[in-house]
Amino acid sequence: MSTELRTPNLGRNTGVPLDLDWVESIRVNRSAVERRTATLGGRRTVKKEWQAAWLLKAVACMDLTTLSGDDTAGTVRRLCAKARQPARRELLDELGVPDLKVGAVCVYHEFVETAVNCLAETGIPVAAVSTGFPHGLSPLATKIAEIESSVRAGAKEIDIVISRHLVLNGDWRGLYDEVRAYREACGDAHLKTILATGELGTLRNVGKASAVCMMAGADFIKTSTGKESVNATLEFGLVMVRAIRDYQNRTGFQVGFKPAGGIRQAKQALAWQILMKEELGAAWLEPALFRLGASTLLGDIERQLEHHLTGRYSALNRHPMG
Task: List b or e across 200-226, with b for residues whose CB sees 16 or more CB atoms inside 10 angstroms.
Answer: beebebbbbbbbbbbbbbbbbbbbbbb
- The one catalytic residue among 192, 208, 258, 300: 258
- The one catalytic residue among 63, 192, 222, 300: 222
Mean pLDDT is lowest, of 223-232, 281-290, 298-307, 309-318, for: 309-318
208 Cβ partners below 8 Å, 6+ apart?
23, 26, 167, 172
**DSSP 8-state class, residue 32:** H
- Answer yes or no: are the C-beta atoms of 64 and 86 closer than 8 Å: yes
Band of pLDDT at residue 314, cut at 50, 70 and 90 = confident
How do strand 256-258 and strand 220-222 relate by DSSP bridges? parallel
- The one catalytic residue among 63, 159, 219, 300: 159
Give the pLDDT confidence score for residue 1 in this predicted structure. 35
Distance CA 270, CA 56 (A): 11
Distance CA 233, CA 236 (A): 5
Residue with the bigger pLDDT between 47 and 282: it is 282
Q: Which whole number is the average pLDDT over 145-161?
A: 98
User: Percent of the chain beyond pLDDT 90?
Assistant: 88
Give the pLDDT confidence score for residue 2 in this predicted structure. 38
Band of pLDDT at residue 4, cut at 50, 70 and 90 = very low
Q: Is 50 exceeded by the pLDDT of residue 262?
A: yes
Distance CA 231, CA 248 (A): 25
User: Percent of the chain beyond pLDDT 70?
Assistant: 94
pLDDT digits (tens, 9 = 90+) for 18-56: 999 999 999 999 999 999 999 887 766 788 899 999 999
Q: Which whole number is the average pLDDT over 206-233?
A: 97
Please confirm, yes or no, whether 222 is among the known catalytic residues: yes
**DSSP annotation string for 69-110:** TT--HHHHHHHHHHHHS-S-HHHHHHHT-S----SEEEE-GG
Band of pLDDT at residue 320, cut at 50, 70 and 90 = low
Band of pLDDT at residue 3, cut at 50, 70 and 90 = very low
74 Cβ partners below 8 Å, 6+ apart?
none
Mean pLDDT is lowest, of 106-110, 169-173, 225-229, for: 225-229
**Which residues are paired to 262 by β-bridges?**
none
Q: Is 50 exceeded by the pLDDT of residue 144?
A: yes
Q: Which whole number is the average pLDDT over 234-258?
A: 98
Band of pLDDT at residue 5, cut at 50, 70 and 90 = very low
Amino acid at 240: M
Phi, psi of 53 (to 5 degrees): -65, -40
Report which of 256, 268, 196 is spatially closest to residue 226, judged by C-alpha positions. 196
Please confirm, yes or no, whether 159 is among the known catalytic residues: yes
Q: Is 50 exceeded by the pLDDT of residue 321?
A: yes
pLDDT digits (tens, 9 = 90+) for 289-312: 999 998 889 999 999 999 999 988
**Which residues are paired to 256 by β-bridges?**
220
Phi, psi of 153 (to 5 degrees): -75, -10
Distance CA 97, CA 55 (A): 12
Distance CA 151, CA 157 (A): 8
Q: Residue 154: left (phi > 0), alpha (psi -120 to 50), or beta?
A: left
Task: Give pairs for 29-33: CB < 8 Å, separation 24+.
Answer: 30/203, 30/235, 33/203, 33/235, 33/238, 33/239
Mean pLDDT rounded to a whole number for the chain: 93
Report which of 107, 215, 194, 192 is spatially closest to residue 154, judged by C-alpha positions. 107
Cα torsion angle, 220, 86, 130, 189, sign:
negative
